[in-house]
């Protein structure tokens, strides 16, 4: 979880590949109208996020029902969004990737993505960091992606997740 530019997709893809888990990017669940709105630099309301959160929750529940282990790259900026996601997967462990605003802004400017850099401040204002009662942890994502992945894999045991043995 985290704001745009934190590295959620890059880190998530590598973690999923390393563990042999299913990977999904929450952006792929956004309705086209939401993508178009954000591309125009207009932040989404909670009401506009509702169908997206419902689709993510349904996907997580389906994965859980078949015992598929998953990694989902998702902003999950508010506690209420994370609560909705936990409804689909009660044992969800959140990893909040963080970086200074300047780093996030530079990353956003260097990539091709529907989310314009102009929305970063609105995301930072909306962000509700993990609370002590939420299963998860926070990681500094300013390091190289492989370093962040290694730190994540070391820290994820705090969520009680048993990782498969490393084969590489």
Number of Cβ within a 10 Å radius of residue 48: 16
Residue 147, pLDDT score: 96
**Mapping DSSP to helix (H, G, I), strand (E, B) and coil, where does residue 24 land?**
strand
H-only helix segments in the chain: 8-19, 32-39, 46-65, 79-88, 101-109, 120-126, 145-155
Residue 150, pLDDT score: 93
Contact in structure between 7 and 103 (CB atoms under 8 Å): no
Residue 77, pLDDT score: 95
Contacts 24+ apart (CB under 8 A), 53-59: 53/81, 53/84, 53/85, 54/84, 55/29, 56/26, 56/29, 56/84, 56/85, 56/88, 57/84, 57/85, 57/87, 57/88, 58/88, 59/24, 59/29, 59/88
**Structural domains present in the chain:** 8-159 (3.40.50.300)
- The pair of structure tokens assigned to 28 is 């792929």
Residue 109, pLDDT score: 86
Mean pLDDT across the chain: 90
pLDDT in tens, 34-70: 989 988 889 889 999 999 999 999 999 999 999 899 9
Residue 135, pLDDT score: 92
Residue 164, pLDDT score: 66
Give average pLDDT by consecutive 10-residue segment, the chain, 168 residues.
Answer: 94 94 95 90 90 96 92 96 94 94 91 77 94 94 95 83 63
pLDDT in tens, 109-121: 887 767 778 888 9
């Amino acid at each position: 979880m985290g704001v745009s530019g934190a590295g959620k997709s890059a880190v998530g893809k590598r973690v999923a590949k390393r563990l042999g888990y299913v990977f999904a990017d929450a952006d792929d669940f956004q309705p086209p109208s939401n993508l178009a709105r954000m591309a125009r630099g207009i932040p989404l309301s909670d009401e506009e996020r509702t169908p997206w959160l419902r689709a993510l929750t349904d996907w997580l529940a389906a994965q859980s029902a078949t015992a598929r282990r998953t990694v989902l790259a998702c902003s999950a900026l508010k506690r209420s969004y994370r609560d909705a996601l936990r409804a689909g997967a009660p044992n969800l462990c959140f990893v909040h990737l963080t970086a200074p605003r300047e780093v996030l802004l530079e990353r956003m400017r260097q990539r091709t993505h529907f989310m314009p850099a102009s929305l970063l401040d609105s995301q930072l204002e909306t962000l509700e960091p993990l609370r002590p009662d939420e299963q998860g942890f926070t990681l500094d994502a300013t390091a190289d992606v492989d370093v962040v992945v290694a730190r994540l894999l070391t820290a994820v045991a705090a969520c009680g997740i048993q990782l498969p043995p490393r084969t590489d």
